[in-house]
Amino acid sequence: MARIIAVANQKGGVGKTTTAVNLAAALAAAKRKVLLIDLDPQGNATMASGINKRDAKPGGCEVLLEEVDIATAIVPTNGLYDLLPGNGDLTAAELKLMDALAREHRLKELLAKVSANYHTVLIDCPPSLNLLTLNALTAADGVLIPVQCEYFALEGLSSLLDTVKAVRHRLNPKLEIEGLLRTMYDVRNNLGNEVSAQLTQHFGDKVLRSIIPRNVRLAEAPSHGQPIHLYDRSSRGAIAYIGLAGEMIRRERGLARGEQETVEPNESPKHGDHGPTLKAPAANQQD
């Protein structure tokens, strides 16, 4: 069975979709069979995969409403991974699911039909806590949390960890934190270094060693409908996501060997309810 990973953060603009798309492509380049599910009504992961979200029918909406079989809605991409596309229709699907029985388990039940065909399933979640996100967390084995290395990066992190804890308690006992991924990192920025250090201090080994840098080529790739390793495989962004894929594979093998986790998946920061507190940024943060 595939390892199912939800890529989630309730704060937008942290590199969530960029991570979902480029990690899927990097894992596929490492000869892994990968399914990427675009569960965000914005459909950005679909567009970044080279699929026009307006023409992506049937897609996630029809699958969640059980109007079509999930296998018929999955399409191949130029990144060598498979995609269950998403678009604005997912909002309508969420509303219609409100009155359904076991509505939080719908995606889990559907994935059971195809997960044996893949090594990894990645779910790009909406930047909010809604029924779509709950479906992803209920179906997932782990949650990968992109964290932007800037001043407001830790905003909402505690609330997301509390959500993971609640989902573990009520809906999915096996859910764990796959890792915190530092994104948009600029080594020249003092504040970025401080955020990185505080994340490591509070979350230990749950902070992934891989770091995704700020990179113009990463920002350009989605407009060409390509993952970064196809758009510019020599860029710093492409190299970073290849490294992330390798780290994820090594961690997965470690879990398969039964290695113990060093930090509890539902552990929250210890200094208040709002996560680690950062000092206000100085006027000039560049070295």
Contact 5, 143 (CB under 8 A): yes
Give the pLDDT of residue 252: 85
Nearest CA-CA partner of 22 in 222, 196, 252, 282: 222
The β-bridge relationship of strands 34-38 and 120-124 is parallel
Q: What angle do CA 119, 235, 81 make, to 5 degrees?
A: 25
How many Cβ atoms from other residues are within 10 Å of residue 176's Cβ?
20
Question: How are the residues of the chain apportioned to helix, strand and coil, as percentages rounded to the nearest 5?
Answer: 45, 15, 40
Residues 277, 108: Cα–Cα separation, whole Å: 36
User: Is 60 exceeded by the pLDDT of residue 275?
Assistant: no
Model confidence pLDDT, tens digit, residues 150-161:
777 676 687 888
In sequence order, the 6+-apart residues with CB closer than 8 A to the CB of 233 are none
Question: Domain locations in the chain?
Answer: 3-256
Give the pLDDT of residue 201: 87
Model confidence pLDDT, tens digit, residues 165-216:
999 999 999 999 999 999 998 877 778 888 888 888 888 999 999 999 999 9
Contact 144, 181 (CB under 8 A): yes
Residues 224, 227: Cα–Cα separation, whole Å: 9
Give the pLDDT of residue 87: 95
Q: Tell whether omega for the bond before 58 is within 30 degrees of 0, i.e. cis.
A: yes
The β-bridge relationship of strands 207-213 and 120-124 is unpaired
Is residue 121 within a helix (H) or strand (E), and if so which, with residue range?
strand 120-124
Query: What is this structure's pTM?
Result: 0.88
Report the percentage of the chain scoring pLDDT > 90: 68
Residue 124 region by backbone torsions, left for phi larger than 0, else alpha for psi between -120 and 50, else beta: beta
pLDDT band of residue 273 (cuts 50, 70, 90) is very low
User: Is 60 exceeded by the pLDDT of residue 268?
Assistant: no
3-256 in CATH: which number?
3.40.50.300
Give the pLDDT of residue 259: 54
Lowest-confidence region among 46-50, 118-122, 261-265: 261-265
Model confidence pLDDT, tens digit, residues 202-245:
889 999 999 999 999 999 999 999 999 999 999 999 999 999 99
Residues 137, 140: Cα–Cα separation, whole Å: 5
Model confidence pLDDT, tens digit, residues 62-113:
999 999 999 999 999 998 999 999 999 999 999 999 888 889 999 999 999 9
Burial environment of residue 283 by CB neighbours within 10 A (0 to 12, 13 to 18, 19 or more): exposed
Give the pLDDT of residue 260: 44
Strands (E), the chain: 3-7, 34-38, 75-76, 82-84, 120-124, 142-148, 176-185, 207-213
Give the pLDDT of residue 10: 86
Mean pLDDT of the chain: 87
Model confidence pLDDT, tens digit, residues 107-146:
999 999 999 999 999 999 999 889 999 999 999 999 999 9
The two structure tokens encoding residue 162: 């509390």
